Amino acid sequence: MILASRRVWGLKILILYATRRGTTRRIAEKIADFLRPYQADLLNVEEVQEIPALSAYRLVVLGTPIYCEKPLKPVDRLLGDDRFLKAVRRRAVALFVVSISRFAAEKFYIPRIKRRLEGAEIVAAEAVGGKFGPVNTVSEEAIARFSEKIKQWLENQAKTPFASGQPYP
């Protein structure tokens, strides 16, 4: 768990991710570091029995690598869990996808995941590249751009907390 140095009231963030070889974890950690002014809890869905109550969070950041054209199994299961989907649809969601092909992620994988999250307020979605053996397409610029979109959304929420029509938990 990463706690920010200066907490912005009511804007708690849950960063959920799954990783096979550590790339997605490292990217999730970079995003959490970028969002230091906010309280961000970092959680590997593979390491917990149960996801914490989403009502404690204003924003859920979901990160997954793509294997065989699908999200990694733990995230795929989460996206098929009616209880999780019902709760996440009441939150704002930011989505990042780790894939060696950013083009395929933008064109196919992100839209598929967004459809599964139908009803959620998607505030940012980004293909950040990936790593496979010696090939590394992870884009620091894409990670920064994604994080900046989240930060801008959070700053807008801090100014007008009910702008999205959803009160804080």
CATH number of the CATH domain containing 101: 3.40.50.360
Query: By residue range, what is the domain housing residue 33?
Result: 13-159
- The predicted-structure confidence for 4-54, as pLDDT tens digits, reads as follows 334 445 678 999 999 999 999 999 999 999 988 888 999 999 988 788 889
Torsion of CA 64, 108, 112, 165, to 10 degrees: 90
Query: What pLDDT does residue 162 have?
Result: 53
Structure token digits, residue 167 = 């009160």
**Is residue 6 a part of any domain in this protein?**
no
> What are phi and psi for residue 79, nearest 5 degrees?
-70, -10
The sign of the dihedral angle between the CA atoms of 141, 145, 148, 150 is: negative
**Is residue 146 a part of any domain in this protein?**
yes
pTM of the entire structure? 0.86
**Is residue 1 a part of any domain in this protein?**
no
Higher-confidence residue of 61 and 52: namely: 61
CA–CA distance, 9 with 128 (Å, rounded to integer): 29
- The predicted-structure confidence for 81-104, as pLDDT tens digits, reads as follows 999 999 999 899 999 999 999 999
Query: What pLDDT does residue 85 have?
Result: 94
154: Cβ–Cβ under 8 A, 6 or more apart, which residues?
A: 8, 11, 13, 35, 38, 59
Average pLDDT, the chain: 87
**Is residue 164 a part of any domain in this protein?**
no
Query: What pLDDT does residue 10 have?
Result: 62
Cβ 130 vs Cβ 99: under 8 Å: yes
Q: Which phi-psi region, left, alpha or beta, contains residue 47 (left: φ > 0; alpha: ψ -120 to 50)?
A: alpha
Query: What pLDDT does residue 161 have?
Result: 53
**Is residue 8 a part of any domain in this protein?**
no
pLDDT higher than threshold 50 for residue 167: no
Domain count, the chain: 1
Largest alpha-carbon pair distance within the chain? 46
**Is residue 165 a part of any domain in this protein?**
no
Higher-confidence residue of 161 and 73: namely: 73
**Is residue 141 a part of any domain in this protein?**
yes
DSSP 53: P
